[in-house]
Structure 1
Amino acid sequence: MHIEAFREYCIVKKGVTEGFPFGADVLVFKVMNKMFALTALDRLPPQVNLKCDPEWAVELREAYDGHIIPGYHMNKNTWNTVYLQQVPEKLIRELIDHSYDLIVAGLPKKTRQALEDLE
Structure 2
Amino acid sequence: MNIEEFRVYCLTKKGITEEFPFDAHTLVFKVMGKMFALVALERLPSQVNLKCDPERAIELREEYDGAITSGYHMSKIHWNTIMLGQVPPKLIYELVDHSYELVVSKFTKKLKAAFDAM
Q: TM-score, normalised by structure 1?
A: 0.98
Aligned partner of residue 85 in structure 2, secondary structure? coil
Aligned partner of residue 50 in structure 1, secondary structure? strand
The letter of the residue matching 2:14 is K
In structure 2, the partner of 1:87 is 87
Q: 2-side partners of 1:18 and 1:48: how far apart?
A: 14
Aligned partner of residue 94 in structure 1, secondary structure? helix
List per-residue Cα deviations over 1:36-68 (Å, max 9, x = no partner): 000110000000000000000000000000000
Percent sequence identity over aligned pairs: 64
Q: TM-score, normalised by structure 2?
A: 0.99
- Please state how far the C-alpha of 1:104 moved relative to its aligned partner: 0.3
In structure 1, the partner of 2:74 is 74
Runs of 4+ with >6 A deviation: none
RMSD, aligned α-carbons: 0.5
The letter of the residue matching 1:45 is P
For the pair 1:116 / 2:116, whether they are aligned, the reply is yes
The letter of the residue matching 1:18 is E
For the pair 1:98 / 2:98, whether they are aligned, the reply is yes
List per-residue Cα deviations over 1:60-95 (Å, max 9, x = no partner): 000000000000000000000000010000000000
How many aligned residue pairs are there?
118
In structure 2, the partner of 1:18 is 18
For the pair 1:5 / 2:8, whether they are aligned, the reply is no
**Structure 2, unaligned runs of 5 or more:** none
- Please state how far the C-alpha of 1:12 moved relative to its aligned partner: 1.5
Q: 1-side partners of 2:88 and 2:109: how far apart?
A: 34
**Structure 1, unaligned runs of 5 or more:** none
